[in-house]
Amino acid sequence: MSKLKEMRTARGLSQSQLAEKAGIKVRSYQAYEQGTASFDRVHMDTILRICLALECKMEDVLTDPELLELLKQYREMVDKMA
């Protein structure tokens, strides 16, 4: 099961409900969840919209190890700046 599907079903949302809540097309969301389109490589605004709709962190739904490492490094940098 994909991370997206796992998070969506845990929130009790259908694909269409999540897409509507995130303000994206249902077909686009279905492609991300099914893996026919790479969710890790979509525009940042789409990732953020979905994360806001799911009320989750980006690392909860992203799967690319390189991207996850970059996100970790970014968060560490921001924490040091605070």
Asked whether 24 and 15 are in contact (CB, 8 A), the reply is no
Distance CA 70, CA 65 (A): 9
What domains are there in the chain, each with its CATH number? Answer: 3-81 (1.10.260.40)
Reported as a pLDDT band with limits 50, 70 and 90, residue 82 is: confident
How far from 55 is each of 8, 14, 32, 81, CA to CA, in Å? Answer: 10, 15, 17, 25
Predicted local distance difference test score (pLDDT) of residue 65: 96
Predicted local distance difference test score (pLDDT) of residue 19: 98
Q: What is the pLDDT of residues 31-78, one digit of tens each?
A: 999 999 999 999 999 999 999 999 999 999 999 999 999 999 999 999
